[in-house]
């Protein structure tokens, strides 16, 4: 099942279909944005085999310059995405929903800058280090029980772990 009501935290075991759903969305996005973007990557917990995740596909889209964002914004709105207010310089977030459930998040980020690399480093590190992946799963399960109706607190509490993984990944 894909999708989760806004603001809720409910984790599901890893599902092989998430990768296929990403591939389908990447094809759609590529067909609409091909001349505007540099890369599309599956990121977040649904991109890491074996990790429990909120059933929402996170997609990072790398662009070359800020002037592209205006064009990207209009095109993704045309295929069902809406903008989510985010207060992070250099990042724009859009969501897609079905039946009042968020199914996809687009993280539109300058390609190969810090925010872009952090998304990739975190994903790749957890894919490569099973002990860290298991630690992340345990943390996510604890936080989901603690904050089932508060996605902001859930996310904020994961930040210390994410930062520690990024430090390790950048040393490799």
Q: What is the pLDDT of residue 3?
A: 94
Contact 54, 4 (CB under 8 A): yes
Q: Which residues pair with 104 in a beta bridge?
A: 57, 96
Q: 64 with 18: CB under 8 angstroms? A: no
Tell me the pLDDT band of 89, cut-offs 50, 70 and 90.
Answer: confident
Alpha helices per DSSP H over the chain: 17-33, 66-78, 114-128, 130-146, 151-171
This prediction has a pTM of 0.94
**Mean of all residue pLDDT scores within the chain:** 94
Distance (Å, whole) CA 21 – CA 14: 13
- Residues 147, 148, 152, 156, Cα dihedral to 10°: 40
Tell me the pLDDT tens digit for each residue of 122-131: 999 999 999 9
């Amino acid at each position: 099942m894909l999708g989760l009501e806004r603001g809720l935290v409910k984790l599901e075991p890893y599902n092989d279909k998430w990768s296929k759903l990403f591939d389908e969305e990447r094809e759609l996005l590529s067909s609409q944005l091909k001349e505007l973007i540099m890369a599309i990557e599956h990121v977040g917990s649904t991109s890491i085999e074996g990790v429990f995740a909120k059933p929402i596909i996170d997609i990072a889209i790398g662009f070359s310059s800020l002037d592209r964002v205006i064009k990207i914004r209009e095109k993704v709105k045309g295929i069902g995405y809406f903008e989510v207010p985010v207060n992070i310089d250099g990042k724009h977030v859009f969501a897609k929903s079905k039946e009042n459930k968020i199914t996809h998040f687009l993280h539109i980020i300058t390609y190969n800058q810090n925010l872009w690399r952090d998304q990739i480093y975190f994903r790749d590190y957890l894919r490569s280090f099973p002990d860290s992946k298991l630690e992340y799963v345990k943390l996510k399960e604890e936080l989901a029980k603690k904050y089932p109706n508060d996605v902001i607190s859930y996310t904020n509490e994961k930040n210390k772990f994410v930062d520690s993984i990024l430090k390790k990944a950048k040393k490799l």
